[in-house]
Structure 1
């Protein structure tokens, strides 16, 4: 039997990572960007990142709007610059 090296995830420079569980830092970026956001409630379930001059985030979220009990999925896109506050760049219902 041959010894095989572990499979490593490769990401192209400027490419998006695979969706993965949020780290505490990912959650903090999400919280900062949505601070004061009203209307729809978004709960992130996974995140994908892209390193640029800062970091782009795509958060896969469960979304809902009170008082309705309907839940749908959405991608919340956030840009975190090297300096300054992260902010929402787009929200897409999926």
Structure 2
């Protein structure tokens, strides 16, 4: 492993990645965790991840409560267990 790759790996272990565009896998985790969620509609625009005993996701989202036209930003945090269990919401913060 090169020094640059090794340094990058050391920074990422236990730390959060910068926010980035969602991959198809990121979108799948988000959709699965919010399946059946009612009330506010969250649309993810970016995600940051943290590898622990599973994966923590922080989704930066636009949020709205139809039929109102009010839109705000929120962070939806989701945990994906290491054992392949169903991802679930750990918190939602309005920003």
The root-mean-square deviation of aligned C-alpha atoms, in Å, is 1.6
Instruction: Note the C-alpha offset of 1:13.
Output: 1.5
Match of 2:23 in 1: 23
- What TM-score, normalized by structure 1, do the two folds share? 0.88
State how far apart, in whole Å, the 1-side matches of 2:57 and 2:38 are. 20
Residue ranges of structure 1 left out of the alignment (5+ in a row)? 1-6
Residue ranges of structure 2 left out of the alignment (5+ in a row)? none
Spell out the pairing of 1:1-94 with structure 2 (5 A cutoff): 10=8, 11-83=11-83, 84-94=85-95
- Max Rg structure: 1
Greater fraction of residues in helix = 2
State how far apart, in whole Å, the 2-side matches of 1:52 and 1:23 are. 19
Instruction: Note the C-alpha offset of 1:41.
Output: 0.1
Matched residues, number: 88
Any idea what SS the aligned residue of 1:17 has?
A: coil
**Segments ≥4 residues shifted beyond 6 Å:** none
- What TM-score, normalized by structure 2, do the two folds share? 0.87
